[in-house]
Structure 1
């Protein structure tokens, strides 16, 4: 089969184990067996009627039954209520594995290590093939309490990229900026040379739709960090480092000169749509697939002649390019609670999703319905997915249960198949060229460490965000207040937080 990603190679190796175990089938229990699950993803409550999970039931005889109210869309609130009541389902799926691990270390989730060794050959083979993925599953006490929902991290790390208005560059006879100085000069030209041609100085050279990440991405283009990160094997806190000071001074200057949206922290999530549809925005750092889609928006193209929004390489700064937002290796996962009646059947069900069939339906849905194969065996999505009325392909797939959070492996080819080809090309370019700044691994804490780090980190994050915004907006003088800011961080327990994170990182690397 052509164009397989790196993950798919493992399934040929483990298929034999699956066939031997199931004697040609995936059946786990002789009779239909109901297993309860608490799972909410992006406000969407698990639905046992989704075709993907109906197919899994048909294969395994394990039927998942969602618990809790269909109106309860906050997964943390639902999780906390279940824990407080003591009435836990058999399986919990959560975006926050630290909570599952904390619950596990307190006896609420069962360790999966021995169950995997004895009853999950597919998961075991997957972990043997990808030790980094196994590290992500191991808690601070050495036990595995959940199976992560893995991104296809080895095939695709890029998540977001730097975009710029190519039609504005063309109108002003400007080249694509290469260095940070050139990027700054381009933003100045966007501000002063009326590229939208309306005779008004209303252009917004750089804008962001996420106030949550605005500082991170602006500073990150300079290689600065706003939180904990790893330099070599040493954990550091970005705001205390020289690069942060360099970058912040530049961003303050850019904002003062009107090169950054003056409402960047308040405009809201719809700012990208507003800036582009009104021909006001010049550049942003945002998700590849959704941002690229504006180039194919008929209404926008009719309104803004020659509109073209293209991804460019991050500006070269002190000899390197930085794309400050990347995919992590996983996001959440699921585990088995201590009250589950048949953990062996459940771990076998978890293992199903790492089989060739489970891997396929979790990423593509049902063959003949949501996807088909071409003459070379390559999968592609059907018109039901690609040409749905008033729904994006991803929305159609989600309505079938595709990519709902389970412990499993994502196939990047699925995303490539429904996404914009140009977006995929740019994502692969960012990954291949090494622009991506890998985030620090998701660290695992002991119960005691977790209590300390959560309290300190919350206060550190709030303080950094508060001061970053004050400095950028000009409400506080950076040079006059920076030393006091560092003192404040230290008083909040920065040294202890660095120490805890260093211990957790060292433990992670040895796991």
Structure 2
């Protein structure tokens, strides 16, 4: 295993614990219920060859909607991959903002498609629905029909152990994206021309950030003589863009990675949460101050990413001073005609009143639960072969970036990559624009750290170069040393069922109260104690106990 992948995965080397009665990790109830499906009804070509079948076959796939993809059905990569594999896809596209609600409804109703792709099914959901037989175990399918997946496991054994459930089964394939800048993606972006116009420095503390936003609001930096500047506006559901994602880390460590254990961390071997601590209260007080001064747009709690981008790309004049997110495409049009996206620069982690200054670090270089085959699949072997092919280098380049020699090409002799080594490929058209030639990071793909950084460094305006440098120079120095983000944890079926209800109850309440405390609908001095007591009543202690048990077991392995 090479050095960079060891670093990427060292924080979460997974373990396998076999359930009682399972001597080889494969004889689970989930497999027993799904074993009749593993005999394909069609004759497949030899693994690693194309087309996959002689006569065209159809797979029904539920997929997460992607704002960068115009239409999965007419997409260029969809058509290309269908021609190569001889497999037609019937798509059911689920809106990104409601994908978890839709997933829950589908799983409860058992109205499954053949495949669920891109819905980021959590380890807990994999364990629950895998052992119940709704998701097929993939172990034998990988062995017989997954040459690329087997190579992936051989090259990076920690990936296999990470996605292996407690019963020894693999219920979902991951998307591999060993993305350096993604590992510290809770960023704030600020419009640099306004700083220069008002003779302001990049803020380094929470007080300085307040003063900058105040100046944006009051000193007409866009120069149109109107008080129309919006100092800070966000979209709660965009990538790493919630109101607490960046600013709360000036008060307490607040990673938002992982749907079940966001705001959760490990300190001195103990699991804990940020949102019931006095430091969280002070962070909310700061956010409330920004809101009451008119520095946070009220729409921040209701608008979607498209509405925010309309603000960021206002055609007449610049309106938006700052926003949060993993990259500027959360609030502007990446590579848009205005070029405005490149004028927003990353704000380093701000030092809070007590010296707290964290850049939260993701613990995983993969997205688990990217591809599952359900018990309704008539040809699970075909589904496995179809997904396995997406890990091939050319297929990854096509699915993520587009067509060879149009959106990307092989590197030329002498070209240097982002990492300073000889480059291997070149991104002709930058990722991030709305298009219909690729799937824009939807579904299985194989992008290691080496792969990403072997792209030709195309100057300072290259998005990947910009994000690499902003992360390296501004965020890496503040990576946590005394606390860590929770790694992916598989739970037993009983634990998963219990924690799923607890996580939804607790996290929904926390999200509701963040908004209420920030806008002043709830009073921090009057209502804080009741808020903490309500968390206790929701059995937060049991929630932490379950994850502590799983973490302790993982630590032993």
User: TM-score normalised to the size of structure 2?
Assistant: 0.71
Match of 1:38 in 2: 61
Q: Indicate the residue corresponding to 2:130 in structure 1.
A: 104
Q: Which residue of 2 aligns with 1:322?
A: 358
> Do the aligned residues in 2 keep the contact of 1:364 with 1:414 (CA within 8 Å)?
no
Quick check: 99-108 or 419-428, which moved more? 419-428
Contact conserved, 1:394 with 1:418, CA < 8 A, in 2?
A: no
1:306-352 C-alpha deviation (Å, 9 max, x unpaired): x9432232223455643459696316411333454554554444433
Residues 77-135 of structure 1: CA distance to partner in whole angstroms, max 9, x if unpaired? 87677767767554332514244443221023222224434553432332343344334
Give the conservation status (yes or no) of the 8 Å contact 2:189–2:346: yes
**Partners of 2:207 and 2:176 in 1: CA distance:** 38
Aligned 8 A contact 2:228 2:319 in 1: yes
Query: Structure 1 residues 84 and 416 mapped into 2: Cα distance closer, same or farther (>3 Å)?
Result: farther
| C-alpha distance 336-181 of structure 1, shift in aligned 2 (>3 A) | same
* 1:125 aligned onto 2:154: no
Report the counterpart of residue 550 of structure 2 in structure 1: 504
What's 2:199 paired with? 173
**3-state SS of the aligned residue for 2:187?**
strand
User: More displaced, 432-441 or 131-140?
Assistant: 432-441
Match of 1:409 among 442, 446, 469: 446
Q: Deviations over 1:432-491 (max 9, x none)?
A: 242567753343333322332222222212322232222222233212221221111111
CA distance in 2, matches of 1:474, 1:217: 20
Q: Which residue in 2 is equivalent to 1:12?
A: none
The residue that corresponds to 1:16 in the other structure is: none
1:148 Cα deviation after fit? 1.3
The CA RMSD measured in Å over matched residues stands at 4.3
- What is the aligned partner in structure 2 of residue 451 from structure 1? 497
The answer as to 2:255 corresponding to 1:239 is no
Query: 1:429 is paired with a residue of what secondary structure?
Result: helix
User: Of residues 428, 436, 441 in structure 1, which corresponds to 2:468?
Assistant: 428
Change (3 A) 1:488 1:431: same
Q: Judge which range, 431-440 or 352-361, deviates more.
A: 431-440
In the alignment, is residue 463 of structure 1 matched against residue 539 of structure 2? no
Separation in structure 1 between the aligned mates of residue 271 and residue 53 of structure 2, nearest angstrom: 51
Superposition deviation, residue 170 in structure 1: 1.9
Instruction: Specify the alignment match of 1:19 in structure 2.
Output: none
* 458-467 vs 276-285, greater mean Cα deviation: 276-285
Match of 2:395 in 1: 358
Moved more, 363-372 or 425-434: 363-372
**Which residue number in structure 2 is paired with residue 218 of structure 1?**
247
2:99 counterpart of 1:63: no
Distance in structure 2 (CA, Å) of the matches to 1:330 and 1:446: 20
Q: Distance in 2 between matches of 1:347 and 1:419?
A: 40
Which position in structure 2 is the counterpart of 1:312?
Answer: 347
Question: Gapped runs of 5+ residues in structure 2?
Answer: 6-44, 255-261, 414-422
Matched residues in 2 for 1:153 and 1:201: separation?
40
Which one of 42, 47, 52 corresponds to residue 77 of structure 2? 52
Find 2:325's aligned residue among 286, 289, 292.
286
* Superimposed CA distance per residue, residues 347-391 of structure 1 (whole angstroms, 9 cap, x where no aligned partner): 444433333443343334443555433433743456xx67xxxxx
Q: Deviations over 1:47-87 (max 9, x none)?
A: 5775535554555x55244266x899976687677767767
What is the rounded CA distance, in whole Å, between the counterparts of 1:419 and 1:267 in structure 2? Answer: 34
Distance 1:200 1:460, change over 3 A: same
Question: How many residue pairs were aligned?
Answer: 478
Pick aligned residue for 1:261 from 297, 300, 321: 297
Q: Name the CA distance, whole Å, in 2 between partners of 1:72 and 1:267.
A: 15
1:351–1:276 Cα change, 3 Å: closer
Structure with the higher helix share, 1 or 2: 1
- Judged with a 3 Å threshold, the aligned counterparts in structure 2 of structure 1 residues 332 and 400 are, in CA distance, closer, same or farther, namely farther
| CA spacing shift, 1:108–1:23, aligned 2, 3 Å | closer
Residue 508 of structure 1, CA deviation: 5.0
More deviation in 365-374 or 159-168?
365-374
Matched-pair contact (CA < 8 Å) for 1:111–1:144? yes
**What is the distance in 1 between the residues matched to 2:126 and 2:252?**
33
| TM superposition score normalised by structure 1 | 0.76
